[in-house]
Structure 1
């Protein structure tokens, strides 16, 4: 290993702190952001040239050193001879990298070009106007660099051609005014976007995979998502309650995660920006005033390394596993809070203690104890500890694209470079191997992302030929999440067409724009399912339940069909009558099936589910490669329940695979291929005979639900199952009794949606369905019907802006559902939303009344008595202020019959409204005559 601290990398003549460091995707430039208000781009090649020649190198670790003090002189002499023999020439670092099998390395030509010219500083960007710059990040394409600082701005600079060219290949700018007065810029990085909106310092930012969006986080407690192409705001994520100091995108493209001083990590979906997890446990005893909390995501998407965690008695970095979002383990060893984590962009093949090879990720940690550590997954000890290189906290880290060089920045104003040899970290996997790992885990390769049509005329032609779909929840660039298309069947096309044949689904082909590895774009055909009895579409990312819209119909020339098939051509004995063509078209539109994707790919090799605090069940699907043997004889699934490392029980299924699993209180439910459900007891007993549900499972949830007022009792263990055809079952597992059987497909169609986003149990144990429009419905057992509990029709209400999509925002489960529906409605309105919101004061008051009535009844349907009382109190006060004593009496009469305590609370809330004093006194008097049983 070679280590250096280039003294010429500094800000403010060495007196200003450095807050951020990042490497360009081509490995030639290093960006630093500092307290002097500038972003400086440096020559990486010049650093490597110094390392290779030994100039400036402050440490070199030999393979072996004898520590026998008696032979110290001899050992030192031997060390000098080895160093002379092994010392590389000027380009040795990059030359060694070029020997890797996959050819990813720091270019030796680039190193020579930079070193020969003696270039150190490539460009200085001063558009933050002297305010400290806290973060700088290159885009994945390398064309842009984004930065954020104490001026509350996010600035995006673009690399542009310059007038002249130097002999070393640099493009020298003829205008030095855009850079520092004391340093001439070698490259022309021009400001192209200024993103305004944050009300406090910007601490961290990140580019999405295809560079169309930038996420920034700030001390204003928000994460803002920007359209990097248009320079406009897409959405504001407001779940955190304190300074947000770290943000990162999921490498698969489905999630975004942020970390805050409120001692939590929030994970959200990219499509719809819905919160899927709010992780608090690892950070409950964490320090709250660190400079940053820069978490990072593993390159294969399997886990997040979250910083500033605490596991008594040490400060740690917590590993949060994808899907469960629970702490799997910790990186333990730092004496101060860990404030930055950065994964190596490469995966490595390493050996465990038994000599067996496995694929590992590598992550670097920086902490306030002035240390840098480098860890390999599944290893208990770090592979590198750097203790004495910095005088103050290490706040940012980055890796070179070849994965062999680590840069660390400290607020002491210095940057250190650690150049590894490949044998020190392990054998690097090639891009093809990483491609296969991603494909096995998520059904698609990380590199195959959606792109932009090469010719804009093609997009115009598609828009003319097919009706535009309704606008989704976020603005135009939200389609990033759809980049993870399934390996077998792509259901994420924007405007798919349908065509029905006689009794079976036909396959159409639609063009889709994709970006190739070389950056070029092409039009690729995508298969699209038709309107068969039910269309089954694989989910975009394995076991995680993704949503997918049903393709709208496109008029096609009808095909001839046999008279015996149900194509509408067979004569009917009923009397004939004419039907208006418009009515017929509306009926046909409503008859389209709801598409609910299966929970995961059948070929997913492994599943894991926690069934209790101490036990985890692991499933391994196996398919043997035997020529000439039917597939049903070659596939099997092995199920094993583990308590720590000890196997508690195991089972095996032959001729099928496990596609989805759910567990609670030691019980386990498995969804097998073909729509078969298998349930296990705590000791692994097959409680039920295999239950055939008729179609693959899309959603499976097992949860113990305790009713309000019965917390001391055990509660009911409920199992919810939903198939791809929309059939829903709810069982009481321990009583082996079916509580509900329903069909959500016609309900969703009736609501005007052909997309089911989520089906789950509410907090009260009721089946809850969230549609693609973010409308939510819950099953009311008293009415024996699906009741709508969230929609976006209340945008004009005075209470609409106070709702947050987070169910933990103080508004409860109902508030989160309603806010999501309103957000989707506002996004669908697009630029017209502002015009639509211009209503008179009287119209707004009427809208507020409708909203409060809706929320009160919806909370009751959800079984949330606390939320219902809150909304009922607001409704009563609103009616009192409006002088609507007729409706107010109906509300109070209902409470007088059902809940005397709630009535007293509401009477207290409206007592300050003088116009209803007599009414309040009347009902207070009636309360004294109500039987105590209603108390």
Structure 2
């Protein structure tokens, strides 16, 4: 029998450990092959097996899939108070009204935190293998969408503002083998998600009002990014074709559907985009190669073929990520342990402002809703808050020695949440940490 060292558990074993006190586990004997396990509880049915043939026979080709969500998921922890995930936090998001902070983790759970009281309100097992994306519905925050390593997108009803009553509305999955299903976000009352193989990607929507699903786009290389900060409108879809790449942009709007914008920059040097960010005003920034950021202004009527408004060169090494401020007036890029912010005045003619201070690689960064501050999260365990106007560091949060994985501002800009590699989530009231700066 194989013996694993402590701490080497698989994701499925972690899920079983979290459910063992409230589940019944039945072992299914095989024919000399590795044994499959079935875990059932009041909320979720799991099947796990180590043999590919058993996986195909029992799961129809899936591995460790959530087969059914029944009624309401039960809390993993009943005592509200100090709590954290049992593995690294992978994603954070804040509800539109700022009442809830939702965190997803590699331990397969989602935690709903009361942002005002800064306590754990509800925790449940959501996706086998880990949670990688979360998004609240933009109008009222009554729905929380999640996707995970189990190739499922799930919509959860989280109840009224002051009552936690989490229920699974629907789990959206593909029946074809080897499909990767990913959450994009909300466009009004519709949830957008993609399903993809190595050669094909499909963009679909699910309408929470009519409970209907429809296909919006299909193609080869597709990247979907929000085109409105509040999620009330739609998304920008980027697709590439050919070598050198021709970059095509389309807009998905909740009311008008899919609208072609045109071809972006076929200049003989354009490589497929590595990352992209767009503001509500239509300012688009895309990483090309290791250190180039191309910026387009999509506010005006775009011609059939357009060239970038500006080309920005990042001097801090390879770019790891970018962000555009909500009003489109600033573009942020980070890589290594530094960041650069360019101002849109005079079409980005002025050199970018350099932000330095972290002792290790910056993992992610985010603009505040008003664009006056940026929060950066680093592997050095520090969250830094920067003044975007003068480049000064206005707050340094050293809450843990573990790497900071994600940061998120509340929509009103009053709260800053951070998630850590040790599973901890910390919610700060900005007026307490900025003081008079």
Q: TM-score, normalised by structure 2?
A: 0.48
Higher helix share: 1
Greater Rg over alpha carbons, structure: 1
Higher strand share: 2
Q: TM-score, normalised by structure 1?
A: 0.25
